[in-house]
Structure formats: structure tokens, C-alpha cells
Amino acid sequence: MDPNLLYWKSEGQSFLSRLHIWANLLDPTYLLSSDAEILKAHASLGSGETNEEDVPAKTLSLSSVHAGSGAVLPLAFRPPAFLLISAPLVLGSFLPHSSVKPALFWQFLLQSYSAGFNYANRSSSPEQDKKRHFKELLLITGTVSCTTCAGALPHIFIKQLSIQSPPLRTFFRSILPIPLSAALAFFNVYTVRSVESETGIQVFDTNGNPVGISKAAGEKAVTETALSRAALFGMTAVIPNLLVLLIRGTRPFHHMSVVVVLGLMIPVSFSLFPQLEMIKKENLEEELQAAAGNGHLFYHRGL
């Protein structure tokens, strides 16, 4: 088992402990570290050389290394980069565009980045990756295409139906994007990572030894991550709109509140489910149940 997963096994089994860890991991200064520094920190975490005084090495490894493959994550898709990149894209997608083209443009950027982040942080191992690259590429392309068009639906309705009524325009611009944002975030994760449900992901015993591939664990990992992302984007859509309605805030206030809520919700969303999750023996495939000596196995959920 990867050193990052061993750390999550011992430190990240309660929501509050995960929230505390993620609050530290999302520090954008970790993006300034080189690949060599990251790999050194990862190696020291695996060798047990770090101690309580060497927290930066732990957090650098946890924030920058894929816990399944042990490879350094691409810079743009590391958790500390998520807010920096997604904030302007979310703001752009929430703007009341006067035409459909800019709405499609901002949705394309947001959904493309979301798909890339979901794919880079999926549950995977080097052996599995060799077999499914092409199918995953098709899934990413299809997901971005569908979610881009669906995300622009409020603007398409306003334009095509020539809606002039203020209440209807408010509904399409402020109310409909709330469930739509949550649904698209769920769909993006679920489709980009659907191969995990079909082929399964690696499961481990209580000692961290790999014992096989489980489709049930793959389905659980994808569903949990999709729910956490739906919570992230759904709350980012609903809270600023409610604040604007309650206190009659201006557009700059709405933009600022979107960034603040997004920034606060990211660690909450990432903490909703453990990175090293458990699956009960009765929910596993028959051939894997014998390996669940303590009544459960572990799997890497991904992010």
C-alpha cells in the first residue's frame, strides 16, 4: 500500500480529522515545490523518516502525489491548485451572459478542467492504466461535450424562447443553475471514472496488502466521490444566490461570495468520505470475502 494511503489509514478516519488535514493540504505554496522535492518527501513518508516536526514533508507528499500510482500529479490537477483554477471558471459559468456562445465557452472550460481533475485523481494503479486509456479518453470527450451543453441550458432557454419576464429570467439565471450545477458535477465524476465501476479497483487487507480487484469497491468509490463533488458545486451555487436575495447584494458581492463559499466548501467536500475507505465483507464479491478477515477490506477512493 502506498505511504499516502497508510497515512490516511491512521489519521483520516473521522470527518474532523480529514477536514483538519485537508485545510493544510490545500495550501497553494505547495505548488512551488519541484518534482524532486515531492518525490523525496514521498519517499521519506514511506520510510517512516518523518516525525511530528516534519509536517511539511507529509503534507507535500499528500497534496502532490497520487496515492494509487505513487506518481507526482500534474501541477494543474493537484488539490492545492483546485481553488486557484476553478474559482474564475465557476465565476464565468455563473455570469448572466447576454448570448449563448460565452455561456458555452465558460462551461467548456469548467467542465474540461473538472474532467481533467477527476481523471488525474481517480483510483488507479500503473497496471490498470495500460488497459483502459482509449476508453477513458472517449469518456472524457463525451462527458465534456454533454456537460458543456447542459450547463448552458439556462442561457439557451432564455435566448431561444426570448424570455423577457423578470421572474422567469431570475428562475433560469439564479434558481435552475443550483440543481444543475450539482447534477453536472455528479455526472462529470460518475462518467469520467465509470471504468472503475466496470473493471474494479484494487482492495487491501488490514495490513495494507493487495488482495484483488473489486467492482463493488469501484462503484462505491465513484459514487461517493460524485456525491462529494455534487455537494461542492451545489452549495457553491445555492449559498451566494440566497445571500444576494436576503440582503439584496450587488453583483460584485455575489462574485466575492461565490469565491468564498467555494474556498470553504472544497476542504469540506474532500473530507466527506475517507481517502482510504472501508467496504464490508458482505458487499464484496464472493471470491474476495475470504480475504476480509476483520469483516472488511480497504480501497483508495480517489478524489
Among 51-60, 170-179, 228-237, the range with the most confident prediction by mean pLDDT is 228-237
- Residue of 131 and 25 predicted with greater confidence: 25
Residues ≥6 apart with Cβ < 8 Å to 285 = 214, 215, 216
List, as one string, the DSSP characters of the chain: --HHHHHHHHH-SSHHHHHHHHHHHT-GGGGGS-HHHHHHHHHHHHHT---TT-HHHHHHHHHHB-TTT-PBPPGGGSHHHHHHHHHHHHHHHHS--SSHHHHHHHHHHHHHHHHHHHHHTSS--HHHHHHHHHHHHHHHHHHHHHHHHHHTHHHHHHHHTT---HHHHHIIIIITHHHHHHHHHHHHHHHHTHHHHHH-EEEE-TTS-EEEEEHHHHHHHHHHHHHHHHHHHHHHHHHHHHHHHHHT--HHHHHHHHHHHHHHHHHHHHHSS-SEEEEEGGGS-HHHHTT-TTSEEEEE---
- The model's pLDDT over 89-131, given as tens digits with 9 standing for 90+, comes to 999 999 888 889 999 999 999 999 999 999 999 987 655 555 5
271, 199, 299, 274 alpha-carbon torsion, rounded to 10°: 10
What pLDDT sits at residue 34? 93
Residue with cell 440566497: 242
- Which candidate, 89, 90, 97, places its Cα nearest to that of 155? 97
Query: Edge-to-edge strand order for the sheet containing 296-300?
Result: 210-214, 201-204, 296-300, 276-280
What pLDDT sits at residue 69? 84
Residues ≥6 apart with Cβ < 8 Å to 141 = none
If phi > 0 it is left, if psi is from -120 to 50 it is alpha, else beta; for residue 248 that is left
* pTM assigned to the model: 0.93
- Residue of 208 and 214 predicted with greater confidence: 214
Mean local confidence (pLDDT), 283-298 = 86
- Which candidate, 270, 273, 272, 277, places its Cα nearest to that of 117? 270
Is residue 85 over pLDDT 70?
Answer: yes
213: β partners: 202
Query: How far apart, in whole angstroms, are the C-alpha atoms of residue 184 and residue 143?
Result: 10
Among 76-90, 150-164, 196-210, the range with the most confident prediction by mean pLDDT is 76-90
Is residue 28 over pLDDT 80?
Answer: yes
Residues 185/143, Cβ–Cβ less than 8 Å: no
Is residue 50 over pLDDT 50?
Answer: no
**Length in residues, the chain:** 303
With pLDDT > 70 as the criterion, what percentage of the chain qualifies?
94
72: β partners: 65
159: β partners: none
Query: How far apart, in whole angstroms, are the C-alpha atoms of residue 224 and residue 278?
Result: 12
> In Å, what is the CA distance from 154 to each residue of 145, 147, 239?
16, 13, 19
Is residue 71 over pLDDT 50?
Answer: yes
Query: How far apart, in whole angstroms, are the C-alpha atoms of residue 85 and residue 112?
Result: 12
With pLDDT > 90 as the criterion, what percentage of the chain qualifies?
61
Mean pLDDT in the chain? 89
Residues 257/249, Cβ–Cβ less than 8 Å: yes
Mean local confidence (pLDDT), 250-264 = 91
